[in-house]
Amino acid sequence: MNNKMLQKLVETTSLEYFKQPFKHKAYFNSRLRTTGGRYVLSTHHIEINPKQFSRFGKEALINIIKHELCHYHLHLSGKGYQHKDHDFKMLSNKVQAPRFCQPIQSYEERANYIYQCCKCKTTYLRIRKVNTDKMRCGKCGSKLKLKMYL
């Protein structure tokens, strides 16, 4: 799927689920890493993570588009467009737009550090490095040591 096909898909999804036209640009942004898509407030464009389509297919892509279109239509109509707003929650439920997309990588795949308790030998996976002077084992309260950097 290319940007032209994505634009057409967003326009048809907007008309089908929201009964309103999508008048701005939709395109793939390969720099997105932790999110499935993004509605840009300043330009009203929608950016989509291409990895979501390649990994999960068209159905997942449509769900992301519906979520971003909720932000789009509510923002343009002057209503609450943020996740915390009542208007956003109501519209999301109405069009069955999911709150989150499926993660591309699991936590285990993203983990960079393995810590181990010095006493009970419990291991902990972490994406970011932690301060072993402050962090303790959740089971026994003993010190942690860095076992491996992945």
The phi-psi region of residue 15 (left if phi > 0; otherwise alpha if psi is between -120 and 50; otherwise beta) is alpha
Active site residue 108: no
71 marked as part of a ligand binding site? yes
Query: N- to C-terminal Cα distance for the chain?
Result: 34
Structural contact between residues 123 and 114, judged by C-beta atoms closer than 8 angstroms: yes
73 marked as part of a ligand binding site? no
String of b and e for 65-100 (b: at least 16 CB within 10 Å)?
Answer: bbbbbbbbbbbeeeeebeeeeebbeebbeebebeee
Which member of 47, 68, 108, 109 is catalytic? Answer: 68
Annotated binding site: 67, 71
Catalytic residue list? 68
Annotated binding site for Zn(2+): 67, 71
